[in-house]
């Protein structure tokens, strides 16, 4: 059986604080994000010209428990199969305990046999740790900036 990409971390924040942070992806994931991710039905996305373009809808929002984003559109410049993300779900399961709040991200449908798996799983790990986790632990979140997007596009163009 093939497993979708999953990663987990725990922070000393309430489940409600974690949910609120997840709903601000432009703060922790990518500054190029346009749109909102605060209520069910909200849509957001970004365009990193020459690298990655995506459109996502908030499919489920149960504050303090679960957030589900559904990928509507996606394009990667570095894969042949442009449907690898389309129709997948990015699921944040949130569980509070006396040890803190555990966040488990599962990108349902991001599978090891996919061409983008290595790059995408590494990017998720980076954005969750350097972005979301940093934001929740009082650090300085490091979302993708326009300058970084441009540098990444140049890097992919030179490959």
Q: What architecture does CATH give domain 5-157?
A: 2-Layer Sandwich (3.30)
Predicted TM-score (pTM) above 0.85: yes
d(CA 69, CA 32): 17
Ranges of each domain in the chain? 5-157
Least confident of 39-43, 108-112, 152-156: 152-156
41: left (phi over 0), alpha (psi -120 to 50) or beta: left
pLDDT digits (tens, 9 = 90+) for 89-137: 999 999 999 989 999 999 999 999 988 898 889 889 989 988 999 999 9
Share of the chain above pLDDT 90, in %: 58
């Amino acid at each position: 059986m093939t497993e979708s990409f999953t990663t987990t971390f725990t922070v000393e924040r309430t489940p409600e604080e974690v949910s609120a942070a997840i709903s601000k992806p432009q703060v922790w994931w990518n500054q190029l994000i346009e749109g909102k991710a605060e209520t069910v039905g909200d849509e957001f996305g970004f365009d990193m010209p020459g690298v990655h373009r995506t459109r996502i809808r908030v499919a489920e929002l149960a504050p303090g428990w679960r957030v589900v984003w559904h990928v509507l559109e996606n394009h990667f410049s570095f894969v042949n199969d442009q449907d690898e993300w389309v129709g997948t779900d990015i699921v944040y399961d949130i569980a509070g305990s006396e040890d803190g709040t555990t966040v488990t991200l599962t990108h349902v449908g991001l599978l090891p046999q996919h061409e983008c798996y290595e790059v995408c799983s590494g990017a998720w790990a980076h954005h969750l740790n350097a972005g979301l986790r940093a934001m929740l632990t009082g650090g300085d979140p490091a979302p993708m900036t326009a300058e970084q997007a441009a540098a990444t596009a140049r890097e992919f163009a030179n490959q």
